[in-house]
Amino acid sequence: MSDIAAATWTTAIDGQLVEIPATIDGIRAVLPEADLEAYDAEIRQTPAQDLHRVLARWALPSSAEAEDDALVSRLKAGDFTGCVPAGDEHRGVA
């Protein structure tokens, strides 16, 4: 396996650091057989400037999507615990 094939991203999911594949082939290798055709088609059609986002979405495990869904539900319910508005670091500064 080359260094490129072994490349990973590190992200936090449910408060734990998780390594996920960071190459087209590495991501493809961990996908279920049923997803390979859709993955290949989307990768071929993705503009270069968007490729990193599409690859990250495919590389993330389903638990990451579940965590995002839970966060969105919490925000929609009005629970903004732990949220900091953008630009808040300048609040109160003259």
3-state secondary structure the chain: CCCCCCCEEEEEECCEEEEEECCHHHHHHHCCHHHHHHHHHHHHHCCHHHHHHHHHHHHCCHHHHHHHHHHHHHHHCCCCCCCCCCCHHHCCCC
Output the pTM of the full model: 0.67
For residue range 24-74, list pLDDT tens digits in order.
999 999 999 999 999 999 999 999 999 999 999 999 887 777 777 888 898
Has residue 83 got a pLDDT over 70?
A: yes
